[in-house]
Chain A
Amino acid sequence: MAKRGFDIRKLRGFSGIAMTCFVMLYMPIVLLVVYSFNAGTSVAIWEGFSWRWYVSAWDNEMVQEATVRSLIIALSAAAIATTAAVLAALATTRNRKFRGQTAIFALIHQPLMVPEIVTAVALLIFFATIKVATGYTGLMYLIIAHSAFCIPFAYLPIRARLQGMDLSLEQAAADLYATPFQVFRRVTLPQLWPGILAGAMLAFVISLDDVVITEFVKSAGQDTLPTYMLGQLRRVVTPEINAISTVLLMISVLMVIAYTLLSRTKK
């Protein structure tokens, strides 16, 4: 047989390294999921199958409150971030090049570049000042903070979709007497939907999962699911944590699958 070109799979030790990586990545998660069904109170000693920790989490008022709070924040943040992302994407792809466009890119992507802990501290100080000045201590701070760091995640798929769109369609609509707003409503938006949904879901998952910024920004009694779990870990660890994590994992996996399906371009 003729000699083949370089094939990484043939490299000695490659499959070993690959296997190790997979095991290290997924083994802990598999264990986490398995032990969420543990009948005993340990996260390390298997004592038989049971749904008890799912029931226990479901009945836990703290978990219920944290879940509702997480959902409110994630949904609001996803909505706000997606709206802002759509406007930003339109401004950066459907306009003539304008002065400062690069600066705008940098601004939009700020959350991806600045270390999260720095943003968290900055927000803590900034919001503290406002809290003192206004006396308001509600959820808005968390929603605003989450919206801000979700924008780049919502922005990326929307921008990709806009750039992939045929500009001549919008010109054709304008040619057929559609005002700029009608062009957006009747031609741009219907084609942008998959990108918008994808962006919103990505933003939702990112918000749902955040610990660092939430931990710094939240007021007393404003635990979200992740910060509640972090708090619990400092005390007794029961498989209840595993159960909550498994549910979060399921939500994320479903979102990612939906995201992949939506962002796949039709051919």
Chain B
Amino acid sequence: MAKTVKIEVKEQNLLATLQKFFKTLLQNGDIDALLVPQHLPMKNSVMPTLVADPEKIDGVDPLAPVFPMNSAKVVSKLTRRPLDEKIAVVLRPCEIRAFIELVKLKQGETENVVLIGMDCYGAYGNVDYTRFAGDDGSDASLRFYENVVSGKGTAWEDIDISPACKACEHPVPEHADMVIGFVGVDTKDQLLLKAITASGENLLEKLGLPEGEETEDRKKAIENLVSERISYRDKMFDETSEATSDIKKLTAYLGNCVNCYNCRVACPVCYCKECVFVTDVFDHEPSQYLKWAKRKGIIKMPTDTIFYHMTRLAHMSTACIGCGQCSNACPNDIPVMEIFRTIASYTQKAFDYEAGRSLEDEPPLSVFREVEYNELTGGKD
């Protein structure tokens, strides 16, 4: 089904090309609005914006090496009830994968939404990005892009893309309706646009773009990028397992945690509307703390830190897509993503599941079979 065309790059300016492309997309009338990252006029930050007026698209910048939040949460807000209008959303691969998990948890719908995925070279943490971008965000995005393409890499001064991005083996979107590709593409004169589904194809047809092709060079470049990422990832798994292999080490690993719960607020797949850790259940009686202190001799305050992280691991690690927003949100630089991705790799493997892989695979804790895992009960069914 896949159909591939090319977007011609004018005057070697990728951003201007993308801006023009999205404007055309919005003008041709088939979609009512477009969700796309833009530089906000008053500040250099880049935020997802929902644009209905094609004239209001000048700050578009999906190349900016930053994503202040995982936009799957925004798409979920836009689709949790049926929409009459049709929208297109421009997302990173990890945002699409998070959205797939949310759809399966009935917190979003794919109907009436065209998912436009972009290749991704990674992103800086929010704080690092502000330093990197300086006063001219668009210029910074092109600078980042050129550094990567010219082989200089993603690092700049003492900062680099986040560990989550370095460990991400999905730099190219797999489940979009349409993909805008630049990895392994000669972007001096073109970008790749590939429709994967029927709804992507419909949209693509209206654009009247010249035919393109997915070259061997692109496939090679993707392969190389993925294998680099995988070796970083596996090393990270080993190191993190080692650093948290018993309760003592885990306590040290999470030692700076102040129970602010930013990590779960930022997590796109922490799906509960109300987290039990912020309910009355954890509003312990004052005397309870005293009881604990007396029984154990000493307790750390605030309490329930390890309990919180282990519970979150149990509740959502099978849905963790490794976006790194948890680490991005942590005020105390705790490597939250590292431990979640590491444990997720085990829990997902145990159920032969991969978060974000497909809409069809059932979330492991939402289903069961009558006959399975009977080794847990000594062979008794």
Binding partners A and B: no
Chain B residues proximal to chain A, CB less than 8 Å: none
